[in-house]
Amino acid sequence: MANVWVLDTETKGTGANVVPLERLLRKRGGESVPGFPLPALRPPESPAKRSAQREFKVVDIMTRRVLGEGLDARGAVDVLEDVRSIVDVTVHVWEPQSERWRMLTFGETRLLWEYRGRSGLTQHAGASTIG
């Protein structure tokens, strides 16, 4: 079997070098610092499993009223249809590992915001809005 070659950019001031992949993997697998063990690596979840678990909550900034909770992504976008500006709401996602709501960053919220007006439907069947 032929060697797989990759571009190693971790050189010091000399530019990048093309090296065999095995050498690069050996170099990065150094030992941890005593007293600070590295966590065990877990395989990433499948995208289908991750997206099925996402629940969103949309909260009005001025009144702190919950506009929708327990929504899937499409339901969150449907709630955002009636919002005047992206800065008028905060959007949260449920994190099952920590069992708490995490507020989305502005960039993450903008990703949902950009889907407004694309569905053609006014309300998604799975959305439970609180009004």
Domain boundaries, the chain: 1-28, 54-113
- Kindly list the distances between the CA atom of residue 38 and the CA atoms of 29, 42, 80, 98, 102, in Å, as whole numbers in the listed order: 11, 12, 41, 20, 25
- The tally of CA atoms less than 13 A away on the side-chain side of residue 37 is 3
Distance in angstroms (rounded) separating the CA atoms of residues 27 and 89: 46
Digitized pLDDT (tens) for each residue of the chain, 131 residues in all: 578 888 877 766 777 888 888 776 766 545 556 666 767 777 776 666 555 568 999 999 999 999 999 999 899 999 999 999 999 999 999 988 888 999 999 999 999 999 888 865 544 444 455 54
Q: What is the pTM of this model?
A: 0.53
